[in-house]
A and B are shown apart, each in its own frame.
Chain A
Amino acid sequence: QKEVEQNSGPLSVPEGAIASLNCTYSDRGSQSFFWYRQYSGKSPELIMSIYSNGDKEDGRFTAQLNKASQYVSLLIRDSQPSDSATYLCAVNEREYGNKLVFGAGTILRVKS
């Protein structure tokens, strides 16, 4: 069974700080990696996608991918109370088609 693992949290950071969210995955054949944000009772909303090793930056968000270590991370700079949500790591299991396998999510709380 292919797995995506995340620390469930909650991760608490003060407003303006950097939040660091981590994810590991078991399938070495995975090709596409996504971070979604989910507010309570709402649907997953895309934050970042990353396909190649290294860093990818978009505004206050930076995704990092290390395929050798099977590790994906998301950094949120200048965290805001509105960033408080559950962050879902999702991996596209290319070998088996195009389904996304989700981690259980990390709850982030940004305190003002």
Chain B
Amino acid sequence: EPEVTQTPSHQVTQMGQEVILRCVPISNHLYFYWYRQILGQKVEFLVSFYNNEISEKSEIFDDQFSVERPDGSNFTLKIRSTKLEDSAMYFCASSISTTDTQYFGPGTRLTVL
């Protein structure tokens, strides 16, 4: 069964460093998302992406964040200068349409020291 994959599973970085989280969405899906979950808190929407453009972003998704689909399969989330409060699980998701089920990848645990 097709699934969303994410790499790395765990990323440790120093405050102020740039990180890139990678995702391979399900191949026939057109809509891509990033969510994050701080330990013990809700899953929070960051950004949605369609047709090589951001379609919606949350207040969390400030100038330090960017997304890109560099080729036909990968979808990346870049954090330019990480902060301690960026430590969280980051989930990539994809869906066929806007109302259809979003399928989540296994997540990347980001630890900022």
Contacts and interface: CB of A to CB of B under 8 A. Distances in A.
Interface residues of B, number: 25
Given A34-B101, A51-B99, A98 B55 contact: yes
A97 B56 contact: yes
B56 A49 contact: no
B87 interface: no
Interface string B41-62: 1111100100000011010000
Interface residues of A, number: 25
A101 interface: yes
Interface stretch (A13-21, A37-45, A75-83): A37-45
Nearest to A97: B56
A98 B55 CA distance: 9
Interface string A88-110: 10101010111111111100000
A28 B99 CA distance: 15
Interface stretch (B14-22, B72-80, B104-112): B104-112
Interface in A15-67: 31-32, 34, 36, 42-46, 49, 51
A1 to B, nearest CB: 10
Interface string B27-71: 000010101000001111100100000011010000000000000
Interface of B: 31, 33, 35, 41-45, 48, 55-56, 58, 89, 91, 95, 98-107
A43 B55 contact: no
A99 B58 contact: yes
Nearest to A105: B42
A45 B1 CA distance: 14
A97 B106 contact: no
A98 B31 contact: yes
Given A43-B106, A44-B104, A97-B48, A104 B99 contact: no
A8 to B, nearest CB: 11
